[in-house]
Amino acid sequence: MSNQLADSTSPYLLQHKDNPVHWQEWGDAAFAEAARRDVPVFLSSGYSSCHWCHVMAHESFEDPELATFLNEHFVAVKVDRDERPDVDAVYMTALQSMTGRGGWPMSIFMTPAQEPFFAGTYYPPNAQHGSPAFIDVLTAVDDAWHGRRDDLTAAAARIVAALRERTSANPADLNIVTPRLIASAVAQLERGFDYRSAGFGGAPKFPPTSVLEFLLRRGATGDDQALQMAQRTCDAMARGGMYDQIGGGFARYSVDADWVVPHFEKMLYDNALLLRNYTHLFALTGSALARRIAVATADFLLREMQMQAGGFAASLDADSDGGEGNFYVWTPDQIRDALTADGQGPEAALDEAAWLTELCSVTESGTFEAGSSVLQLRADPDDWQRWEAVRVRLFAARSRRPRPALDESVITAWNGLVIGALAQAGAFLEQPRYIAAAAQAAGYLMEVHGNRAKAGAPGIALARVSRGGSVASAPGVLEDYANLASGLLDLFAVTGDERWYLAAADCVRAIIDNFRDDAGRLRDTENGNELVLDLTDLADNATPSGVSVATGVLVAFASLAAEFRDVAAASVAQGSSFAIASPRFGGWALAAGQAWISGSGVIAVVGTPTVPSFSELHLTALKAGIAGFAVVPTNGAASSVVPFLADRGQLDGSPVAFLCRDSVCQLPVNTPVELIGLVSAHHATTSKVGPGLAE
């Protein structure tokens, strides 16, 4: 046996293909070998831009002596958490239950039957700070395997049994979602809000993208308290160091509570979700800051993350030139050198550098490491033209530095997020190129990732990930189908192109057919998977819960076709009790619940898209969509994909808008003011009692 990773499509696994460790990918072959050799399995899970994954790889997995011991006494399995989130989620749950913490690299020891009995994260090569040396851990596990096998296997069985009991759930109460309980979730969020620095919780502080989705939806229905929390958080993130003031886009999180110093990796999902947040904030408030950040973030995505074929890459590494953040941070001397190097005289360069260092909180002692600083923009510059000129020059100087590595994996779920965000940004920011990029990505996913269906089989079967146009073997999970369906529905709402609606419907039918258990609950993995734990996570983490996104999509489709109403109701109920009890981790489910109790309305805009009055009505409808309306642009042709809209036509040759509920439409209106009036009246009516749900 030798290292088996050379043919992998995963950049993370390929980083380990030259290790002396005899790594295998997750699969039946690895566990069959462990059973044949009668040895435990060592599972290491991480991702390509993970700093501590790189550290453990260099310290331990590249060590020939340690690798020899690992190869002799274990079967070593390497998992890319981005490619196999289902596997990673199972064992992260085990890790957290066994140790009270999680993180990557994740290190799991398990039986050949896939049952974990010991777990940890990063292990150093030598014992330090209370953490044992990795070789000592390996030795202890091997000794226990041979000396106390019965104890280990019994413990593993107990762990799996306890996790199965903990993660199983009774069907939720269908009456759980009410306007009062949704309002109470806002109140809980307000009690946990950081009024000094904005956001929620302390250090490290993560962008609360799913909570912002909910708060902005509430703001769109008239909840000023929710809107203020969203705006204060967005403003604070945009002015701190987590946002890249020079090149646009957001880093993963802030290591402090004040949004000053980031963990520097840039993830596709964060930037897609934050682009959506800032776009919606701009649409609701007209905030110039929100517009500027949304434009710069979308431009960053197109410039640095979109692949030639159309899909978007997964992440940019935190490390470059031998250290974390080296690409992004500055010392005062580096700023002066950069401004002098482009031909500006020394005196003028010093003046510009002094202005910039004060504006961006760059100090001689630094806000990061070794006297370097992360640029912040805590206040608007007194001269925007001057700022832009200096920013462009620093961007050019920074571009000559060694760049962080790009993980070129195209992940279905994350691309679904960016498709929807770019489509909406293109509409609200009047940037057609964003819509074109979203359509290009959607076309790539449907052509490359959407062809896993067996010949003659109905529906769609999605691949999880591709790289360089080659599809990996990992199947799509619930979040892939849900996020793609959501993004396609947003793209349809913006463009009116029915192929995106039909593709979204295919994804939704696959969810209903393949991701629901016998009790009607949604599951994170397809029915019939062979993982040791049937795990479904209702909590939003870095990305929204697959169940919650699927719920939002089902609510939208329920407003368009009665056939989806029962499954949408069950899905709303499934996630609502958790979300209301833990709103910080249930924002997306709360947003879906808000749409449900608001009546799952539809706004159809009928007319010729090139006519200005159509565009005005359409943009007004899209703004109402932030509150949870499904938006259908149509020319009123009989071939409309929404049957109850098929015969809706223009009024005296002018574009019109219809507000509909339960397939029944009110009389048409033909001005934005009239449409806003209908929407306001709708919210006033539905804010007290939701459809079929007890107050």
Task: Note whether residue 28 is domain-resident.
Answer: yes
Task: Note whether residue 80 is domain-resident.
Answer: yes
- Report the alpha-carbon distance of residue 448 to residue 462 in Å, rounded: 9
Task: Note whether residue 74 is domain-resident.
Answer: yes
Same-domain check for residues 209 and 62: no
CATH code for the domain of 650:
3.40.30
Same-domain check for residues 219 and 118: no
Write down the pLDDT at residue 408. Answer: 93
What strands lie across the sheet with 315-316, from one edge to the other?
Answer: 266-267, 315-316, 406-407
pLDDT above 70 coverage of the chain, percent:
95
Same-domain check for residues 416 and 432: yes
Task: Note whether residue 3 is domain-resident.
Answer: no
Q: For 324-343, what is the mean pLDDT?
A: 89
pTM of the complete model? 0.91
Choosing from 577, 594, 611, the residue where a domain stops is 594
Write down the pLDDT at residue 687. Answer: 66
Task: Note whether residue 323 is domain-resident.
Answer: no
Task: Note whether residue 657 is domain-resident.
Answer: yes
The number of folded domains in the chain is 4
Same-domain check for residues 287 and 344: no
Task: Note whether residue 172 is domain-resident.
Answer: no
Choosing from 594, 622, 647, the residue where a domain stops is 594
Choosing from 108, 136, 167, the residue where a domain stops is 167
- Report the alpha-carbon distance of residue 107 to residue 118 in Å, rounded: 9
**Two structure tokens written together for 405:** 């590595």
Task: Note whether residue 173 is domain-resident.
Answer: no
Same-domain check for residues 339 and 472: no
Write down the pLDDT at residue 168. Answer: 63
Same-domain check for residues 235 and 305: yes
Least confident of 444-453, 478-487, 646-655: 646-655
- Judging by beta carbons within 10 Å of its beta carbon (0-12, 13-18, 19+), is residue 27 exposed, middle or buried? exposed
| Tens-digit pLDDT profile for residues 519-559 | 888 999 888 787 887 778 899 999 999 999 999 999 999 99
DSSP state of 474: P
- Which residues form the domain of 475? 179-317+408-594
CATH code for the domain of 23:
3.40.30.10
Write down the pLDDT at residue 171. Answer: 45
Same-domain check for residues 441 and 412: yes
Same-domain check for residues 298 and 360: no
Same-domain check for residues 527 and 625: no
| Tens-digit pLDDT profile for residues 564-594 | 999 999 999 998 888 998 999 999 999 999 9
Write down the pLDDT at residue 91. Answer: 93
Print burial letters for 551-575: b (CB count within 10 Å at least 16), e (below 16). Answer: bbbbbbbbbbeeebbebbbbbbbbb
CATH code for the domain of 550:
1.50.10.10
Is the pLDDT confidence value at 693 over 50?
no
Q: For 189-215, what is the mean pLDDT?
A: 96
Is the pLDDT confidence value at 692 over 50?
no
Same-domain check for residues 302 and 374: no
Is the pLDDT confidence value at 244 over 60?
yes
Q: For 451-472, what is the mean pLDDT?
A: 76
Is the pLDDT confidence value at 455 over 70?
no
**Two structure tokens written together for 565:** 């109403």
Write down the pLDDT at residue 490. Answer: 98
Same-domain check for residues 429 and 529: yes
Same-domain check for residues 160 and 184: no
